[in-house]
């Protein structure tokens, strides 16, 4: 079975030298009496090996895609790269777009979607490959710079309160000893 598979793989490239041999047979006076037979043989070799070559090298049809979102909250203007897994792995993505184009822009390069967010809000987004294959959807939240600054301020205040509470607890523990 392995030898047969190897022979087919090798045979799929026979069309390349067969073209040269066909030209030689047609131009050569040496094989004039076998010209018709050699032309037929070379033509058959070219046709069958080229057909096998094309058959072996056809890319797989895309069945599904999976987007790997690392986080679900973004700021307007953020640009992130989202890895896209394709099934089967050797299938080709000709075109990738994001479900709601007014929310973000999307470019696909080397297995990654580069997404830049434009509009604040909460959205359920997914990717569409080759106009028909959809990824799983992901709920995301896009906030403004002001909202992010407010979240950071609140988180800093909370951390400071926790630090002060921990300090106070430590002082009370030391005083009790």
What residues does 94 pair with on adjacent strands?
none
Maximum CA pair distance of the chain? 115
Q: 36 is written with which tokens?
A: 């018709």
Question: For the segment 138-156, what is each residue's pLDDT rounded down to a tens digit?
Answer: 888 888 888 888 888 999 9
Range of lowest pLDDT (10-14, 31-35, 164-168): 31-35
Q: How many CB atoms lie within 10 A of CB 104?
A: 23
d(CA 40, CA 38): 5
- Which residues lie closer than 8 Å to 157 by C-beta, 6 or more apart? none
How, if at all, do strands 79-87 and 64-67 pair?
Answer: antiparallel
**pTM confidence score:** 0.54
Per-residue model confidence as pLDDT tens digits over 115-124: 888 888 888 8
């Amino acid at each position: 079975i392995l030898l047969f598979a190897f022979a087919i793989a090798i045979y799929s490239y026979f069309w390349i030298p067969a073209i040269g041999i066909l030209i030689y047979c047609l131009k050569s006076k040496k094989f004039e009496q076998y010209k018709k037979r050699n032309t037929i043989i070379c033509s058959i070799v070219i046709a069958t090996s080229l057909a096998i070559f094309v058959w072996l090298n056809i890319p797989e049809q895309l069945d599904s895609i999976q987007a790997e979102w690392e986080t679900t909250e973004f700021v307007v203007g953020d640009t992130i790269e989202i890895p896209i897994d394709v099934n089967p792995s050797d299938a080709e993505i000709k075109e990738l777009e994001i479900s709601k184009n007014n929310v973000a822009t999307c470019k696909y390069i080397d297995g990654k979607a580069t997404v830049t967010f434009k509009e604040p809000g909460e959205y359920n987004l997914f990717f569409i490959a080759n106009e028909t294959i959809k990824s799983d959807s992901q709920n995301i939240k896009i906030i403004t710079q002001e909202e992010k600054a407010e979240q950071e301020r609140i988180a800093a205040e909370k951390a400071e309160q926790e630090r002060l509470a921990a300090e106070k607890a430590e002082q009370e523990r030391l005083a009790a000893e």
